[in-house]
Amino acid sequence: MPSVPKRASKRVHSDPSTPELLLDYAPARQAARPRSLADEQGGLKLSIGPQAVPARSSHPSRDHSVERDLPPPPLAPLAPPLPLPALADELASFREFGQATRKLVTTFPGADGQPREVPTFVNEFWTARQRQASSLQEISYRACFKPQLPRFFIERLTQPGEVVYDPFMGRGTTVLEAALLGRVPCGCDINPLSVVLTRPRLQPPSLAAVAQRLGQIDFASSNEFPGELLVFFHADTLRAIASLKQYLLARRAAKSLDDVDDWICLLALNRLTGHSSGFFSVYTLPPNQAVSVKSQRKINADRNQTPPPRDVRAIILKKTRILLRDCDPATLRVLANVAPKAVLLTEPAAHTPELPARSVSLVVTSPPFLNVVDYATDNWLRCWFLGLDAKSVKLTVPRKLDAWQAAMTEVFRELHRVLKPGGYIAFEVGEVHAGKTKLEEAVLPCGVAVGLEPELVLINDQEFTKTANCWGVDNMAKGTNTNRIVLFRRPKDARQD
């Protein structure tokens, strides 16, 4: 494994400041505002009259009261980049949560057919006992990882101002964590919901701006009333939701959606259906797994429930307060520095021509696995709210290992292109087939096939003490609460793009 120079101080890496000196990434098409669903769905039509709401303005929506007297964000360059840490050494001696690291070896077939070995480190590298992640991360999404995972790699393998990318960004965990750490966030997902969920949290509006806008929206104006949704919502609530949908679509069609609208859209999506009075719906599954009308009818009958009226405005405001809890002035300054440089794409991870070659310092990602995810079934209600056709979204969900490997190889080819020489990919693969299929072994040849160098495998086991005895190269079956991350590096002397 190529050695990595020692890092001078871990503390400096945690400092979320943004040296302009290091920002060498500014795709012309995207500089002012990350591309979003709002831009892509400009053709959606719904005619209602002009709204008494301001169009996108410079920043008044972000006039967080706490922020008012602050000096402008620092523009002066900070110190030059520090050398990166010897990550393998750090992992080997890691004892932050009381356990010693177990050192194993992961074996995979090399290009010449001979077995190749990669050092593998098992420990509780991040844990629920750590300080909670930022409140801004509190958005649900199917198969998301904890913010501590990307943070672990971002802090150790990048400097503030460098580009961190997630080609399967989901709810945007990596992208937001990168921004919170003063890195330039970059993400892609084939699911159009992904940008809707991610972008507003990169530069959140103030509570006052959200409250003001909610006060300006007419929640009784809808000329759409989909009666079949009355199994989820009280009639008054449904009218309010449909009115909000209509308002957002009209603003989108007029190209006048602003940051506050985007935030309200995100919050409405997040609060649409759920299992408590904090959601618009009567009791149902969590918001990332909408059930069908038929199933909801059964849930209502079984629980002897009818949808109660809910105050859509109040619910959006309450969740806004929760999400903004950790948005102190320093955090907002860091986000304001990097968010305008963010690039968020809705397209296949294997084809991202918008991203310049050799521009990304670190990829932290988790691909779709071998399980069956029916996008349209999970997302039909959220897509209805956004005016999208859920069936038009085609996720990569190969069920056979070789098809999955072929798909991942194409993604690695693209990641190799966008990575800077010397840049890293932390590729998290989950447990599938109850641990019988070791995706970390399956993914290693995919990266190697496109010229990436496998550095190490990191296994985070949050129940390490309980499962310690089962750890071994051939026995991963019981490690259910684990993340397995394969770390690749683009060699410094990489071939031409």
Nearest alpha carbon to residue 78 among 436, 337, 356, 398: 337
Residues that bind ligand SAM (CB under 6 A): 141, 143-145, 168, 170-171, 173, 188-191, 194, 348-349, 366, 368, 395-396
Q: Which is nearer to ligand SAM, 147 or 204 (CB)?
A: 147
Minimum Å distance from CB 100 to ligand SAM?
29
Distance, CA of 378 to CA of 87 (rounded, Å): 39
Distance, CA of 368 to CA of 375 (rounded, Å): 12
Q: Helices in 139-258 by DSSP H: which ranges?
A: 148-157, 173-180, 192-202, 207-216, 235-253
Minimum Å distance from CB 415 to ligand SAM?
12
Distance, CA of 185 to CA of 177 (rounded, Å): 8
Terminal CA-to-CA distance of the chain, rounded, Å?
A: 23
Q: Which is nearer to ligand SAM, 78 or 139 (CB)?
A: 139
Distance, CA of 55 to CA of 196 (rounded, Å): 18
Indicate the SS3 state at residue 99: coil
Query: Residues 6 or more apart from 466 whose CB is under 8 A from it?
Result: none
Q: Which is nearer to ligand SAM, 182 or 368 (CB)?
A: 368
Minimum Å distance from CB 494 to ligand SAM?
23
| Residue 119 host element (H or E) | strand 115-123
Minimum Å distance from CB 246 to ligand SAM?
27
Minimum Å distance from CB 217 to ligand SAM?
29
Strand partners, 173: none
Q: Which is nearer to ligand SAM, 104 or 362 (CB)?
A: 362
Q: Where are the beta strands (DSSP E) in 330-452?
A: 343-345, 360-365, 419-429
The residue nearest ligand SAM at its CB is 170
What single letter denotes the amino acid at residue 332?
Answer: L
Minimum Å distance from CB 365 to ligand SAM?
6
Q: β-strand 115-123 against 453-461: which pairing, if any?
A: parallel
Q: Which is nearer to ligand SAM, 187 or 205 (CB)?
A: 187
Q: Which is nearer to ligand SAM, 336 or 349 (CB)?
A: 349
Indicate the SS3 state at residue 187: strand
Minimum Å distance from CB 357 to ligand SAM?
19
The answer to whether 416 and 452 have CB atoms below 8 angstroms apart is: yes
Distance, CA of 14 to CA of 182 (rounded, Å): 9
Q: Which is nearer to ligand SAM, 103 or 351 (CB)?
A: 351
Minimum Å distance from CB 368 to ligand SAM?
4
Query: Residues 6 or more apart from 173 whose CB is under 8 A from it?
Result: 137, 144, 145, 146, 147, 149, 150, 166
Minimum Å distance from CB 170 to ligand SAM?
2
Q: Which is nearer to ligand SAM, 267 or 485 (CB)?
A: 485
Q: Which is nearer to ligand SAM, 188 or 238 (CB)?
A: 188
Distance, CA of 372 to CA of 143 (rounded, Å): 12
Q: Which is nearer to ligand SAM, 229 or 323 (CB)?
A: 323
Distance, CA of 408 to CA of 403 (rounded, Å): 9
Minimum Å distance from CB 386 to ligand SAM?
15
